């Protein structure tokens, strides 16, 4: 898969234009700015974002190259008449975890440099704490992406003890559910899981993998799994392109009885 190279940016020198560009892009794609709508003047955008006009001009130049805006001499800057629409999926909030499993449209690919399973790797302290391991203990890190129409929209990092991961082949890593695969292969029994979600800006390495821009919004989900024996089994970090999903909930009539 050819992955678009993001502009090379260090974490300590993230350009301001990228923030402005990202915010305007998402407003256009999400429909907050309509096709043909006029954008504020450069000086007004500069004041709004507390940046220089040069920064705004650079951001607008990138958006123009993407075909999202048009600049008309002596008239101003406008949202393009034809804006590519995102094929957004509506997810019921109580089924949020379904977005990273069993979605029929997804293709799954493993990614990595030389190998997908990395042994003897250092890993985050929270993972070590959950799995009751020291940081120099052997562990396997599985990195995979989920694609929709050949575009990566979900990036997953699975951390699990090597004695479980060694049963997974490269072909297995292309399956939607590693838990189901391990259950079929070695009778693995997982009793429960917990996940935590938050919105984060895309950092450079994740932005490159997901073919998005630095600072674009992502949904980050960290999931913990326990075996039926009660032992901690796995930690999964999931990064989801927020522009491909919208979350839907309902408020029952019971809620309004005491109002």
The pLDDT tens digits along the chain (259 residues) read: 444 444 444 444 457 888 888 888 878 876 778 889 999 999 999 998 889 999 999 999 999 998 899 999 889 999 998 876 555 444 444 444 554 444 434 455 555 432 334 444 556 778 888 988 776 677 888 888 888 777 888 888 888 888 898 888 878 877 778 898 999 999 999 999 998 888 888 877 888 889 887 778 898 889 999 999 999 999 999 999 887 777 777 777 877 777 7
Domain of residue 56, residue span: 14-79
What pLDDT shows up at residue 104? 37
In this structure, the answer to whether residues 188 and 216 fall within a common structural domain is: yes
User: 150 and 172 share a domain?
Assistant: yes
Q: What is the CATH number of the domain that holds 53?
A: 1.10.10.10
Instruction: Classify residue 255: in a domain, yes or no.
Output: no
Q: Is residue 101 part of a domain?
A: yes
Give me the pLDDT at residue 11, please. Answer: 42
Matching residue, tokens 């794609």: 29
Cα–Cα distance for residue pair 259/255, rounded to 1 Å: 8
Of the residues 58, 79, 100, which one is the last residue of a structural domain? Answer: 79
The C-alpha torsion from 196 through 200 and 204 to 205, rounded to 10°, is 10
49 and 106 in a single domain? The answer is no
**Do 152 and 220 reside in the same domain of the chain?**
yes
pLDDT value for 2: 41
Copy the structure tokens of residue 101.
């499993």
Convert 74-97 to b/e letters by CB count within 10 Å (16 or more is b): eeebbbbeebeeeeebebeeeebe
Q: Do 112 and 194 reside in the same domain of the chain? A: yes
Does 74 map to a domain? yes
**Final residue of a structural domain among 60, 79, 98:** 79
- CATH code: domain of residue 155: 3.40.1410.10
Q: Is residue 107 in some structural domain?
A: yes
Domain count, the chain: 2
Question: Is residue 34 assigned to a domain?
Answer: yes
pLDDT of residue 27: 80
68 and 144 assigned to the same domain: no
Residue 4 within a domain: no
- The verdict on residue 7 lying in a domain is no
Task: Indicate if 95 and 157 belong to the same structural domain.
Answer: yes
> How much is the pLDDT for 193?
92
Same domain, 236 and 127: yes
Residues 164, 226 share a domain: yes
Residues 70 and 95 occupy one common structural domain:
no
State residue 9's pLDDT score. Answer: 41
User: 117 and 52 in one domain?
Assistant: no
Residues 94 and 71 in one domain: no
Residue where a domain terminates, one of 31, 48, 79: 79
pTM, 2 dp: 0.63
Q: Is residue 253 part of a domain?
A: no
């Amino acid at each position: 898969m050819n992955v678009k190279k993001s502009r090379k940016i260090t974490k300590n020198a993230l350009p301001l234009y990228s923030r402005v560009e990202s915010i305007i892009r998402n407003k256009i794609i999400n429909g907050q700015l309509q096709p043909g709508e006029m954008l504020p003047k450069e000086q007004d955008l500069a004041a709004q974002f507390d940046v220089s006009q040069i920064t705004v001009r650079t951001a607008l130049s990138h958006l123009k190259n993407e075909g999202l805006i048009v600049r008309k001499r002596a008239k101003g800057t406008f949202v393009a008449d034809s804006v590519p629409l995102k094929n957004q999926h509506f997810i019921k909030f109580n089924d949020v975890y379904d977005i990273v499993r069993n979605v029929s449209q997804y293709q799954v690919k493993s990614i990595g440099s030389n190998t997908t399973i990395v042994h003897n790797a250092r890993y985050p302290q929270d993972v070590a704490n959950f799995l009751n391991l020291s940081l120099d203990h052997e562990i396997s890190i599985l990195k995979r992406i989920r694609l929709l129409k050949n575009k990566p929209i979900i990036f997953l990092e699975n951390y699990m003890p090597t004695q479980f991961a060694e049963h997974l082949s490269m072909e297995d890593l292309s399956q939607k559910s590693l838990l189901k695969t391990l259950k079929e292969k070695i009778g693995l029994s997982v009793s429960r899981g917990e996940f935590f979600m938050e919105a984060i800006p895309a950092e450079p390495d994740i932005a490159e993998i997901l073919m998005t821009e630095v600072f674009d919004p992502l949904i980050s989900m960290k999931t913990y799994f326990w075996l039926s024996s009660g032992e901690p089994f796995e930690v999964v970090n999931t990064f989801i392109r927020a522009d491909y999903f919208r979350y839907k909930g309902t408020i029952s009539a019971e809620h309004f009885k005491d109002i």
